[in-house]
Amino acid sequence: MVGNVRFERRTLAIVLMMLVTLPALSGCIHLNFGKRLVAGSDKGEPTYVWAEKLLETWTFQTLIVKPEETIHHDSQNNTTVKKDTKVMQLSLDVKMTPLPGGLQLPSGLPRFVDVSFTMPDGTVWFQRRYDASTTEDLEIDSPMDGDWLLKVDAYGYGAPSLGVQDFYEVSIRCLEPE
């Protein structure tokens, strides 16, 4: 009797294996169905991709005859963040080149870059003033969807012939649903 039970279990296991294997080999089971059968369902889970949202650069070119009019630059840009975005990255690069010995800006002319980043609900998420060269990377997990506002107010100097070239660059990218 013990031998018969062993034989029946072995037979049952072989029959079950054949029931699963044979239809798959004959092409009766669709590949995606087979994948879901083995790995589970992926319905409802979107595919995420990195999307470049904004790139703003500005290089100062100062006119010696009118420095007051050529050292200032300001801008405002909206960046739309999709619902269910996982991550938003903000990268800043500010270069303030030291002035050559003896060179002075006219009195009262500033050199700085103000950057602010405002959430769709009007809350200022980030605000900073840079008055020296710097690079900074910031990351927001699960950012609020909607239009974010980037404001830049910059005063810089640019005279390539003197080796002075202030500039800034701001880039934003998101890991968002396709």
Contact by Cβ (8 Å): 82, 145: yes
Residue 75 has a pLDDT of 95
Contact by Cβ (8 Å): 110, 129: no
The series of mean pLDDT values per 10 residues for the chain, 178 residues long, is 56 63 51 46 77 94 72 93 96 90 74 96 97 95 97 90 89 96
Residue 18 has a pLDDT of 62
Residue 69 has a pLDDT of 67
| CATH 2.60.40.10 correct for 48-177 | no
Residue 38 has a pLDDT of 44
Residue 24 has a pLDDT of 53
C-alpha count within 13 angstroms, C-beta hemisphere, residue 95: 12
Give me Rg for the CA atoms of the chain: 30
Please tell me the pTM assigned to this model: 0.70
